[in-house]
């Protein structure tokens, strides 16, 4: 609808230029067409007259009136009004909404998609958990947000590459290896020999037992075999990382999250990319030495203070491999990069971006984009659930999936804006009631499937062509409201992609389901009047399509029976 209105407005502006009302050389402003907050103000509104008034040396309301008079006639517009300082409000006709239903039937699974991304390659990195234990609920939120961002960007015409960055080097991996080694030697948490920084979860015993048995673990086409030699720390380290990576991959598969690229932090060191990045920063003149450490002048790029790159003991601070890693994304053709992280990583964002700018290799400012998520509080019976017996100190993602299912887990973890705190109510997620949003939306889809089964059982064949031709029979308020909701979907998909906020899809689906349930209760579908019945089934099946399209963007199933 926005595209149709923009075409009409542009034709009207062209007519005003031809008439001399607007200067022929006047450039068109970047005007907006949006939905007014209040339904009484119309279906769409534009600010074009207010933006043009000053350069055209005209009164905004007078120019708005002239533009309205110059608009071509259209069956899609029932009424045009001028409001306030010069807003132009459009009230669309019933025929316009009916045509949207036809468009949905024609587009099918592509309805709501657009080509705004132009096929540009974007790398979306998410989860990127250290392979030191089972995935926790925070990783689950990262997985849901990142996967849905990738799906929404693909729907907006981007070429999406999904990436998982394994932090398989550093202190935490060393702690993991020593934890498994201690368990292999028969020590447990609380024993005098137990390492202070060790991981205490029961899963460490599982890893140690598998290692001692000589179990073979295959990850990314490579096989790692356990060892019974409890003194071979390097072998234990390799096995523990592989074993936990396999476990994390299984959790992600159960969650419906997949990746195109698995990138190992260790490869940055093995391939010399960290050293090469540091050399380039030194050569570009953005480093200096002080107190035995190597510093990067991140203040030259907006950071609040310079940052240590290489400590006095010769080891690199953690943001240095992050700079090398994001440089590799640019070199691998990611014209845009999006990194989804927990909010606790906020402090590293400015220094990574500064490091990339200091490389002077053409990376645009603001690369990468960051999406930060806040913590998740899981509740059951009004009390917070914190611990998992297996993990020891946190609730695992698999615990949540096993308890409420994949669909509910994904929905609840994506349903709010990423930077907002999230309360996951297990009791609500398990309930089969209208208060449970994922159940409410899925039930709308299943109800429409049930309608079609009932029609078939009664021998009432659905003639979609006849139904689409008779949409003018749907002139009641609930039907009109449902059509308006269906027409909103492309705008919501576009907005979710532009803002990287896939929770907008979840919000929309709940509103669409509400509009459908309201219409369903007000309008019996399987009536004797064949034309009316087919028209209502055409509207119902269009709704089913949009529900399925939206649920797919969230990675949630669209069941036919419930």
Cα 539 from chain centroid?
Answer: 28
Pairing of β 159-166 and β 121-125: parallel
pLDDT at res. 246: 94
pLDDT at res. 390: 63
Q: Identify any residues that bridge with 123 across adjacent strands, giving them in sequence order.
A: 161, 337
pLDDT at res. 392: 64
User: Which of 129-133, 330-334, 474-478 shows the lowest per-residue confidence on average (mean pLDDT)?
Assistant: 129-133
Question: Do residues 523 and 479 make contact, with C-beta atoms less than 8 angstroms apart?
Answer: yes
Sheet holding 293-296, edge to edge: 287-290, 293-296, 307-310
User: For 81-99, what is the mean pLDDT?
Assistant: 94
pLDDT at res. 171: 85
334-393, pLDDT tens digit by residue?
Answer: 999 999 999 987 878 899 999 999 999 999 999 999 999 999 999 999 999 887 656 666
pLDDT at res. 1: 84
Return the H-helix or E-strand segment holding 340: strand 336-342
Peptide bond into 475 cis (omega under 30): no
Is it the case that residue 142 has pLDDT exceeding 70? yes
Q: Identify any residues that bridge with 378 across adjacent strands, giving them in sequence order.
A: 424
DSSP summary character for residue 144: H
Integer Cα distance of 309 and 301 in angstroms: 16
151-165, pLDDT tens digit by residue?
Answer: 999 999 999 999 999
Spatial neighbors of 465 by CB under 8 A, at least 6 apart, are none
By percentage, how much of the chain surpasses pLDDT 90? 87
pLDDT at res. 112: 97
User: For 284-307, what is the mean pLDDT?
Assistant: 94
Integer Cα distance of 349 and 125 in angstroms: 14
261-293, pLDDT tens digit by residue?
Answer: 999 999 999 999 999 999 999 999 999 999 999
**In which band, very low, low, confident or very high, does the pLDDT at 520 lie, cut at 50, 70 and 90?**
very high
Q: Which two tokens stand for residue 344?
A: 């606790």
Is it the case that residue 7 has pLDDT exceeding 90? yes
Is it the case that residue 459 has pLDDT exceeding 70? yes
Give, in order, the Cα–Cα distances in Å from 409 to each of 40, 396, 448: 38, 12, 24
**In which band, very low, low, confident or very high, does the pLDDT at 318 lie, cut at 50, 70 and 90?**
confident
Determine phi and psi for 244, rounding to 5 degrees: -75, -30
Question: Do residues 393 and 387 make contact, with C-beta atoms less than 8 angstroms apart?
Answer: yes
Integer Cα distance of 62 and 21 in angstroms: 11
Question: Do residues 534 and 464 make contact, with C-beta atoms less than 8 angstroms apart?
Answer: yes
pLDDT at res. 167: 85
Cα 111 from chain centroid?
Answer: 18
**Residue of 265, 283, 263 whose CA lies nearest to 274:** 265
User: For 538-546, what is the mean pLDDT?
Assistant: 98
Q: Which two tokens stand for residue 182?
A: 């201690």
Cβ-count burial 74-95 (b if 16+ within 10 Å, e if not): bebbeebebeeebbbbbbbebe
Integer Cα distance of 554 and 502 in angstroms: 8
Determine phi and psi for 560, rounding to 5 degrees: -90, -20
Tokens 């030699």 sit at which residue? 229
Which sign does the torsion angle of CA 18, 19, 25, 31 carry? negative
Integer Cα distance of 439 and 411 in angstroms: 10
pLDDT at res. 221: 85
384-423, pLDDT tens digit by residue?
Answer: 988 765 666 688 999 999 999 999 999 999 999 999 999 9
Tokens 């991981």 sit at which residue? 199
pLDDT at res. 55: 87
Query: Under the phi-then-psi rule, with left for phi > 0, alpha for psi from -120 to 50, and beta for the rest, what region is 317?
Result: beta
Task: Pinpoint the alpha helices (H) of 262-388.
Answer: 265-270, 273-283, 319-331, 349-358
Q: Which two tokens stand for residue 487?
A: 């027409």
Question: Do residues 90 and 45 make contact, with C-beta atoms less than 8 angstroms apart?
Answer: yes
Average pLDDT of the chain, as a whole number = 94
Q: Identify any residues that bridge with 296 across adjacent strands, giving them in sequence order.
A: 287, 307
**Residue of 91, 89, 85 whose CA lies nearest to 52:** 85
Spatial neighbors of 470 by CB under 8 A, at least 6 apart, are 531, 532, 534, 535, 538
204-246, pLDDT tens digit by residue?
Answer: 999 999 999 999 999 888 899 999 999 999 999 999 999 999 9
User: For 506-518, what is the mean pLDDT?
Assistant: 98
User: For 172-197, what is the mean pLDDT?
Assistant: 94
Integer Cα distance of 487 and 97 in angstroms: 7
Q: Identify any residues that bridge with 89 across adjacent strands, giving them in sequence order.
A: 45, 81
Question: Torsion over CA of 201, 205, 206 and 212, rounded to 10 degrees?
Answer: 160
Q: Which two tokens stand for residue 208?
A: 């140690």
pLDDT at res. 540: 98
Residue 53, helix vs strand vs coil: helix
Is it the case that residue 93 has pLDDT exceeding 80? yes
């Amino acid at each position: 609808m926005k595209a149709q209105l923009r075409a009409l407005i542009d034709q009207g502006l062209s007519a005003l230029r031809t008439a001399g009302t607007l200067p022929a050389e006047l450039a068109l402003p970047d005007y907006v067409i949006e939905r007014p907050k209040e339904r009484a103000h119309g279906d769409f509104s534009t600010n074009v007259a207010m933006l043009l008034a000053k350069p055209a040396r005209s009164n905004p309301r007078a120019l708005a009136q002239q533009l309205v008079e110059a608009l071509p006639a259209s069956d899609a517009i029932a009424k045009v009004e001028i409001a306030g300082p010069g807003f132009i409000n459009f009230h669309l006709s019933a025929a316009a909404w009916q045509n949207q239903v036809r468009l949905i039937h024609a587009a099918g699974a592509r309805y709501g998609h657009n080509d705004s991304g132009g096929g540009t390659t974007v790398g979306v990195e998410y989860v990127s958990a250290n392979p030191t234990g089972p995935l926790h609920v925070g990783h689950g939120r990262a997985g849901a947000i990142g996967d849905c961002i990738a799906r929404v960007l693909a729907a907006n015409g981007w070429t999406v590459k999904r990436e998982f960055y394994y932090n398989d080097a550093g202190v935490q991996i060393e702690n993991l290896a020593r934890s498994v080694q201690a368990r292999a030697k028969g020590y447990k948490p609380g024993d005098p020999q137990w390492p202070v920084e060790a991981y205490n979860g029961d899963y460490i015993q599982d890893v140690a037992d598998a290692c001692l048995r000589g179990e073979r673990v295959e990850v990314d086409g490579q096989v790692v075999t356990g060892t019974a030699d409890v003194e071979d720390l390097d072998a234990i380290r390799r096995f523990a990382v592989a074993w936990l990576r396999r476990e994390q991959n299984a959790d992600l598969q159960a969650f419906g999250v997949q990746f195109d690229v698995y990138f190992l932090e260790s490869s940055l060191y093995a391939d010399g990319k960290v050293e090469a990045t540091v050399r380039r920063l030194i050569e570009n003149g953005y480093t200096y030495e002080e107190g035995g450490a190597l510093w990067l002048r991140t203040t030259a790029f907006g950071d609040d203070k310079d940052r240590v790159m290489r400590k006095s003991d010769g080891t690199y601070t953690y943001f240095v491999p992050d700079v090398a890693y994001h440089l590799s994304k640019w070199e691998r053709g990611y014209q845009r990069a999006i990194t989804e992280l927990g909010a606790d990583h906020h402090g590293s964002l400015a220094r990574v971006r500064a490091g990339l700018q200091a490389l002077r290799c053409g990376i645009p400012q603001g690369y990468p984009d960051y999406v930060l998520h806040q913590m998740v509080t899981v509740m059951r019976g009004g009390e917070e659930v914190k611990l998992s017996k297996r993990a020891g100190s946190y609730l695992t993602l698999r615990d949540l999936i096993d308890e409420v299912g994949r669909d509910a887990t994904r929905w609840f973890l994506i349903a709010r804006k990423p930077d907002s705190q999230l309360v996951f109510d297990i009791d609500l997620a398990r309930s089969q009631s209208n208060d449970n949003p994922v159940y409410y939306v899925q039930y709308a889809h299943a109800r429409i499937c049930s309608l079609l089964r009932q029609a078939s059982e009664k021998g009432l064949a659905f003639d979609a062509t006849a139904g689409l031709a008779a949409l003018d029979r749907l002139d009641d308020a609930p039907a009109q409201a449902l059509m308006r909701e269906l027409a909103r979907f492309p705008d919501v998909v576009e907005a979710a992609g532009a803002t990287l906020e896939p929770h907008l899809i979840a919000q929309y689906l709940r509103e669409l389901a509400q509009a459908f349930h309201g219409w369903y209760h007000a309008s019996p579908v399987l009536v004797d009047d064949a034309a009316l019945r087919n028209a209502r089934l055409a509207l119902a099946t269009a709704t089913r399509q949009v529900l399925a399209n939206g649920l797919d963007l969230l990675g949630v199933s669209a069941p036919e029976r419930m």
